[in-house]
Amino acid sequence: MSVFTAAAEQSLCAPLPVLGEDVLVPLVTGGEVGYAALDYAASAPALKRVWDDVAAYAPYYGSVHRGAGYLSQLSTDLFESSRATVAEFLGCRPGDQVVFTRSTTDSLNLLAAALPADCQVFVFETEHHASLLPWRDARVTYLNAPRTPARAVATLERALADREPYGPALVCVTGASNVTGELWPVKELAAAAHAHGARIVLDAAQLAPHHPVDIAGLDVDWVAFSGHKLYAPFGSGVLAGRADWLRDAEPYLAGGGASRKVARRADGGVDVEWHTTAARHEAGSPNVIGVHSIASACKALTEAGFDRLVAREQHLVGEVLAGLAEVSEVKVLSLFGDDAPRVGVISFVVEGWNSSHFAAALSAEYGIGVRDGLFCAHPLVRILLGSDPGEAGECGAPEAEPGERSLNAIRVSFGAGTPDEHIERFLRAVRELVSAGARWKYRTEDGRCVPDRGAAQV
């Protein structure tokens, strides 16, 4: 851990400005309160800097790679300069490609579609569904959940050593868990993959908003992440890394932009020459505003300084963990142990509470937005909750009455824009709900636990 100067310590009290800081939400018990957004792991609020940059560009919006007009040329320059900004943010190597997609999920499905024939994929069962599920057309080996970072490396090394000694192989791993926030030993896993002739893709959806990601330094082959978790709206994502598999694969989508030349053949068919650059997998009119917003967020985080951002976030992580530890009914979920390094993502369950009921009460009675469910990481949450892998449980749906056991958990997540007051209010709300119970009655509606508007206050 670095030793921070007095100026750096002072900066712990300065979150980055985000949209929504002044939004008021109604409380079921009466009145309004400023909304406490503590669901950053799902979608982080947009940085005001990003929104201002997008607003400044919006009047100049034009088609990309399509027109000779001034606005089209301006938009094309902005689109391609954004690609360079993202490459710098990720520490890309010479020759790496930055492909713009819709999301992390889209990025990993693109890579799955670009796998060479007979590629074998290795993925831990603890992954988010975005990195667990796209490999349907490959030979997939699912690795058991490791209980320490060292065990993760050993598990991968053993699996790779036992694989059939031919053909390409790919390892897919998260950088930070979307359930526990725990950091994975990415550099060590990359070294293990390469030692056995495999490549590795990093799911950085939860890592990139909290820590610097350096492709060259980590020695990973690809990185995937989403703009909406990086304080940038508009549904864009990135797949960045080695060009060869992407260049050799059929275009992810067939259409304009991906094609370099199209001509009719004498037999009535069509010959197509596809681009070999990132454009090969960016068919159609691109989301230039979404791409610009990602580049703006990359610049904002870089200029703010990751050392300062990480220091402040770790301060908040410590506050949350210490506060939850004071409530004996609360159990924080962890794969690697209580002392494992983590980003601002913490999941827990409360004894005697249905997690969906608890999350609903946090929202309705305190104006706090958290997430409940299985977080699109069903196998991992089932392991952490000690449930049967075959036990039913739908992501986000309360399948038990308040007070009964339910196969779901509560997740609180925060980041660069979180003020101290939101953390303080959350911890106070947890203590009050556990000690005194909810002040309102709740019911299930369309699979969600919601306040019973027709009921009186408890």
Which amino acids are annotated catalytic? 376
The count of other CB atoms within 10 Å of the CB of residue 12 is 16
Q: Is 93 helix (H, G, I), strand (E, B) or coil?
A: coil
The count of other CB atoms within 10 Å of the CB of residue 25 is 15
Task: Return the bridge partners of 449, or none.
Answer: 444
* Residues shown for the chain: 458
> Could you give the CA distance from residue 245 to residue 105 in angstroms, rounded to a whole number?
18
Phi, psi angles (nearest 5°) of residue 446: 55, 40
State in Å, rounded, how far the first CA of the chain is from the last one: 48
Q: Is 130 helix (H, G, I), strand (E, B) or coil?
A: helix
**What is the signed CA dihedral for 391, 397, 402, 403, rounded to 10 degrees?**
30
Q: Is 150 helix (H, G, I), strand (E, B) or coil?
A: helix
> Could you give the CA distance from residue 224 to residue 208 in angstroms, rounded to a whole number?
9
Pairing of strands 409-413, 371-373: antiparallel
CB 242 within 8 A of CB 96: yes
In DSSP notation, 387-438 reads: --TT----TT---S-TTS--S-EEEEE--TT--HHHHHHHHHHHHHHHHH--
Q: Is 281 helix (H, G, I), strand (E, B) or coil?
A: helix
Closest CA to 64 of 286, 313, 328: 286
Q: Is 260 left (phi over 0), alpha (psi -120 to 50) or beta?
A: alpha
Closest CA to 319 of 10, 42, 12, 6: 12
Q: What are the distances in angstroms from CA 114 to CA 110, 166, 334?
A: 6, 18, 34
Sign of CA dihedral 58, 62, 64, 69: negative
Phi, psi angles (nearest 5°) of residue 412: -110, 135
